[in-house]
Structure 1
Amino acid sequence: MKNPLDYELLRKKRAELKAEKFLNFKDSLYGLQENYINKLLLNKTLSKPFLNWLEAEKLYAYPSSFSFFNLHKFKKNTTQTDIKDLSNINLKTDYSKYNLFDLPTVKSEYLINGNISDNLSQNIFGYYMFSNQAEIAKLPVDKRFNFILLQIKKENIDRPFLTQILFIEFVSTYLNKKNTNVYENNLDLINDVLDNSIFKDSLLAKYKKIKKNIIIPIKE
């Protein structure tokens, strides 16, 4: 069996079709992929990690393929993104079929699939950044990240594991850029969310390593 999800074909159709027609085409293609994965999941000779990867792919590949900008373009039925109207979009009510917040429960065994920690996390960050851009613009620069993290925590109170993943990915993005301010300025909130989690110690270790390298730069 061959995976029917052809990314090259998707890119070609994105350029050729109007937004709504492309969305319908994308629906059908991911539907074929789900059927393909369902058949693979019946094969119990496959390893447990690979079965977990497949299950996560089935659940999250499609929603993680939508960015905030894409949803906006589909709503406007245009191939151009009208940035000034982004804050009027509410992913919780608009296009509920593609709602990034109406997701299956994220389990630790699904983290083997990068869709959750990479694409999906970035899409949800995009939602918070753009849907709250008016409020964020009013805040001092050093308060903006705290506002975003608080929004993530508040709106995902019933999904603590997903919240932890979002916190880890958000803070790690800035640590990877050798920016320790986000971690240091929001430490109480981060520790509260990550308390007793599988991520807390690894994030602290990453922070300490990067902080040490900033103070005592590694020689190239």
Structure 2
Amino acid sequence: MEYPGNLFVVAAPSGAGKSSLVKALLELDAKLDVSISHTSRAPRGQEQHGREYWFTTPEEFRAMADRGEFFEWAEVHGNLYGTSRAAIEARMAHGDDVVLEIDFQGALQIKKLFPYAVLVFILPPSWEELEQRLKRRGDTEPSVIAKRMANARVEVAQAQQFDFVVVNAVFETALFDLKAIVHAQRLKYAAQRRNRSAVFRALDLP
């Protein structure tokens, strides 16, 4: 089913800057709304329940998955992550544009269920830079960094299945590219027909 609102799905390997880019995009675009995912992992730092994630136990998460409550869900780095089906569909039916930050597995699941979703993959400029970014976080053990680098090679190989690719070498440039993708989607014929209906009627456009 096609909804009035757009669904933007942003994926990237850990350390590529996905969360920072999406946060900056939301601050610039009042028409975009972020979907809060469920996760079985524990909160990190200043994260709060209902702000960054809905935190659940693994048992609660799997029970929700069994009831079909997730639009998509996947296990990433040993933790479970999922997107509420009802929350996404309600917002899009209302005409809101929604952005999801998820892993590539979830993104590809969503594309099968919702072909109109716009998939964006964030790439690091190099493997060396990605490793340095992970190290600069300062709270990750070397063994964890090694695991995330190995996972990143698997994840980056999936970028060819996405609609758009943004290289996050210079943050401001990557943010501009991400904004351009959102803007271009809103200028598609079907979107303009919905949003500028008076103009289309005046010009006798179908």
Range class of TM-score, shorter chain: under 0.3
TM-score by length of 1: 0.25
- Name the structure where helix makes up a greater proportion of residues: 1
- Name the structure where strand makes up a greater proportion of residues: 2
TM-score by length of 2: 0.26
Q: Which has the higher contact order (CA 8 A, sep 6+)?
A: 2
Larger radius of gyration: 1
